[in-house]
């Protein structure tokens, strides 16, 4: 039962009880004998009881009115929140549909470039295509085996583009093969920059809009939290590269290509 219904039911029960009480008070039989001091006292007591009953009934009516008002306010608020939810749902669906349209347009554009490159195959060298494909394949295998993990969606897209590149290379469309291999390398870079698995978020932690690359300019301890009192969970050597995902005070949440994650004091790092 909703809150508004509970308020209304409680007020209705109160009113019904007050009405029964008033009816019982008013149904008392009038005195049959001539008034005497004792009878007069009883009449005054009866009158007092009736007045108390009427006051209770009035209070019950006021409670019912207040309950109705609260129920109407709750229903109005529920309707408002439902409308907002429907609006947000519609906006989310619109964005999803728009993203799907953009992805289709991108795929079509890639195919168009590949067809254009096929007409200019003599301008592209087989060696450049083969070299770029080899670099992309090595990077793909390295990311697939990285313990820290990578963006699997970007990896899958890179793998698909590499298959397409190989097919164009077999057709001697070296320009198309080079283009597709270059696109695959771009997706591999995006996969490498994907956030690593995170620990529990710290209070007042500020996540970056996108991961940032840093280089370690002196040996550094990696700690479990943003402070020198937290446990050391690993070390970084001078010259190592890490990716930072968030900041708290002067500490950065980082991950390296080994899968090591934690917090490092920012003075020990330099932005690449």
Q: What is the pLDDT of residues 205-240, one digit of tens each?
A: 888 776 778 889 889 999 999 999 999 999 999 988
CATH number at residue 265: 2.30.30.40
Residue 257 lies in a domain: yes
Residues 188 and 255 both lie in one domain: no
Residue 56's contacts (CB-CB under 8 Å, 6 or more residues apart) are 18, 21, 22
Confidence label for 168 from pLDDT (cuts 50, 70 and 90): very high
Per-residue pLDDT at 120:
57
Average pLDDT over residues 242-268: 89
In a domain, 110, yes or no: no
**CA distance linking residue 152 with residue 192, whole number of Å:** 10
Which H/E stretch holds residue 206? strand 206-216
**Total structural domains within the chain:** 3
Pairwise pLDDT comparison (262 vs 45), residue with the higher score: 262
CA distance 72 to 52: 30
Domain-located, residue 91: no
Q: Is residue 230 within 8 Å of residue 224, measured between CB atoms? A: yes
**Residue 174 burial (CB < 10 Å; 0-12/13-18/19+)?**
buried
- The pLDDT confidence band at residue 147, using thresholds 50, 70 and 90, is very low
Range 43-63 average pLDDT: 83
On whether both 140 and 165 belong to a single domain, the answer is yes
State residue 221's pLDDT score. 94
Residue 198 lies in a domain: no
The pLDDT value recorded for residue 233 is 94
Residue 185 lies in a domain: yes
Query: Is 197's pLDDT higher than 70?
Result: no
Q: Given pLDDT bands bounded at 50, 70 and 90, which one contains residue 255? A: confident
Task: Using the predicted structure, report yes or no on whether residue 99 has a pLDDT greater than 60.
Answer: yes
Of 131, 162, 192, which residue is a domain's last? 192
| Local confidence band at 26 (pLDDT 50, 70, 90 cut-offs) | low
pLDDT of 29: 43
In a shared domain, residues 185 and 234: no
Going by C-beta distance under 8 Å and a sequence separation of 6 or more, which residues neighbour residue 69? none
If asked whether residues 164 and 216 sit together in one domain, one would say: no
The answer to whether 160 and 180 are in contact (CB under 8 A) is: no
Answer whether residue 244 shows pLDDT above 90.
no
Please tell me whether residues 183 and 133 are part of one structural domain.
yes
Q: Are 158 and 191 in contact (CB under 8 A)?
A: yes
What mean pLDDT do residues 138-149 have? Answer: 72
pLDDT band at 69 (very low <50, low <70, confident <90, very high): confident
Question: Residue 109: inside a domain, yes or no?
Answer: no
Which residues form the domain of 124? 120-192
Beta strands 220-223 and 251-255: pairing type? unpaired
Which of the listed ranges 35-44, 130-139, 141-150 does the model predict with the highest average pLDDT? Answer: 130-139
In a domain, 107, yes or no: no
134, 126 Cβ separation under 8 angstroms: no
Contact, 211 vs 186, CB < 8 A? no
pTM: 0.37
CA distances to 14, 21, 188, 200 from 53, rounded to whole Å, are 13, 6, 82, 61
- Mean pLDDT (whole number) for 43-66: 83
Residue 98 has pLDDT above 60, yes or no: yes
Q: Can you give the pLDDT at residue 67? A: 79
Question: Which of the listed residues 32, 61, 83 is the one where a domain comes to its end?
Answer: 83
């Amino acid at each position: 039962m909703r809150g508004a219904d509970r308020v209304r039911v409680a007020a209705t029960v109160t009113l019904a009880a007050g009405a029964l009480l008033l009816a019982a008070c008013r149904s008392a039989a009038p005195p049959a004998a001539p008034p005497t001091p004792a009878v007069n006292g009883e009449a005054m007591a009866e009158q007092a009881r009736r007045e108390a009953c009427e006051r209770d009934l009035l209070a019950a009516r006021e409670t019912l009115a207040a309950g109705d008002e609260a129920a109407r306010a709750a229903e109005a608020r529920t309707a408002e929140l439902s409308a907002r939810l429907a609006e947000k749902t519609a906006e989310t669906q619109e964005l999803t549909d728009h993203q799907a349209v953009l992805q289709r347009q991108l795929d079509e554009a890639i195919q168009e470039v590949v067809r254009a490159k096929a007409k200019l195959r003599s301008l592209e060298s087989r060696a450049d295509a083969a070299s770029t494909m080899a670099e992309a394949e090595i990077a793909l295998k390295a990311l697939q085996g990285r313990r820290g993990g990578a963006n699997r969606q970007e990896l899958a897209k890179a793998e698909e583009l590499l298959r397409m590149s190989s097919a164009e290379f077999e057709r001697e469309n070296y320009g198309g093969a080079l283009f597709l291999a270059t696109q695959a390398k771009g997706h591999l870079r995006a996969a490498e920059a994907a956030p690593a698995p995170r620990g529990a978020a710290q209070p007042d932690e500020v996540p970056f809009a996108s991961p940032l690359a840093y280089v370690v300019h002196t040996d550094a301890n990696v700690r479990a939290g943003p402070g020198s009192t937290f446990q050391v969970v690993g070390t970084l050597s001078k010259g190592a590269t890490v990716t930072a995902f968030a900041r708290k005070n002067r500490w950065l949440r980082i991950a390296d290509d080994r899968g090591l994650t934690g917090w490092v004091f920012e003075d020990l790092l330099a932005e690449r």
